């Protein structure tokens, strides 16, 4: 019996709860965020408007755009660690290489 391969389609999306990652290489925030100092080694970005977004690039080359409601929080720390408040919508921009 042949194994089925999972396919990743560009443009897929999902609504997810609070998440974290240590695989982020780069993040680009749109103009709908305010920046505040977090605990030592961390910076928090708070969504100033609904549909505030950040485009992230993971270590495997996969690019995602993450959307938040007003008040949503992204906390970024050293070593590529990032925490995302709930709920948020994640849209895959490009598949992994």
Give pLDDT tens digits for 30-61: 999 999 998 888 999 999 999 999 999 988 89
Q: 65 in a domain, yes or no?
A: yes
Q: 2 in a domain, yes or no?
A: no
Q: Is the dihedral of CA 62, 63, 69, 71 positive or negative?
A: positive
Q: What residue numbers bound the domain in which 73 lies? A: 13-94
Q: 4 in a domain, yes or no?
A: no
Token pair 């992994």 in the structure block, residue: 96
Q: 1 in a domain, yes or no?
A: no
Across the range 8-12, mean pLDDT stands at 48
Q: Is the pLDDT assigned to residue 19 strictly greater than 50?
A: yes
**Cβ atoms of 25 and 59 closer than 8 Å:** yes
Give pLDDT, residue 63.
Answer: 93
Q: 17 in a domain, yes or no?
A: yes
Token pair 């709920």 in the structure block, residue: 87
**Phi then psi for 7, rounded to 5 degrees?**
-100, 145
Q: 8 in a domain, yes or no?
A: no
User: Between these two residues, 49 and 24, which has the higher pLDDT value?
Assistant: 49
Give pLDDT, residue 1.
Answer: 37
Q: 46 in a domain, yes or no?
A: yes
pLDDT band at 8; cut points 50, 70, 90: very low
Q: 3 in a domain, yes or no?
A: no
Domain count, the chain: 1
pLDDT in tens, 68-86: 999 999 999 887 788 889 8
């Amino acid at each position: 019996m042949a194994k089925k391969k999972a396919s990743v389609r560009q443009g897929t999306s999902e609504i997810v709860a609070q998440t974290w990652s240590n695989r982020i290489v780069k993040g680009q925030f749109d103009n709908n965020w305010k920046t505040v100092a977090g605990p030592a080694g961390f910076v928090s970005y708070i969504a100033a408007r609904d549909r505030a977004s950040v485009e992230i690039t993971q270590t495997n080359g996969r690019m995602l755009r993450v959307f938040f409601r007003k008040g949503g929080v992204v906390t970024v720390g050293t070593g590529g660690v990032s925490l995302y408040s709930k709920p948020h919508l994640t849209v895959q921009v490009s598949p992994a290489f």
